[in-house]
Amino acid sequence: DAKTTQPPSMDCAEGRAANLPCNHSTISGNEYVYWYRQIHSQGPQYIIHGLKNNETNEMASLIITEDRKSSTLILPHATLRDTAVYYCIVRVEGSQGNLIFGKGTKLSVKP
């Protein structure tokens, strides 16, 4: 599985958009980009995933660059409850087995 690089921490003002970047320059053509988050002391929560087109759901939007070497997770209106560690994971969708979590980005949403 390809490796990802994320900033260790970010701050965001409550009500503003939070843009979390992820670099995955060695991603393969059949690997998807997945985002999970872990709110303090809870189990990780799936957010969104995509291959090459931008994706949006009720939680977030995922923007993947045309060359697929990087992506951005966007929380359009961050709230205090979005404070969490956000993990970017790349993986072949058809593969079975475990998720590989890196260190992620600690997002702090401030009032």
Using the rule CB under 8 A, which residue among 26, 45, 54, 79 binds another protein? 45
Using the rule CB under 8 A, which residue among 49, 76, 79, 83 binds another protein? 49
CB 58 within 8 Å of CB 45: no
Residue with tokens 């087109």: 53
Using the rule CB under 8 A, which residue among 104, 105, 107, 109 binds another protein? 104
Q: Which residues contact 24 (CB under 8 A, 6 or more apart)?
A: 2, 3, 4, 5, 31, 33, 68, 69, 70, 71, 88, 90
97 near another protein, rule: CB under 8 A = yes
Q: Which is nearer to another protein, 15 or 46 (CB)?
A: 46
Binding site for another protein (CB under 8 A): 32, 34, 38, 41-46, 49, 87, 89, 91, 93-104
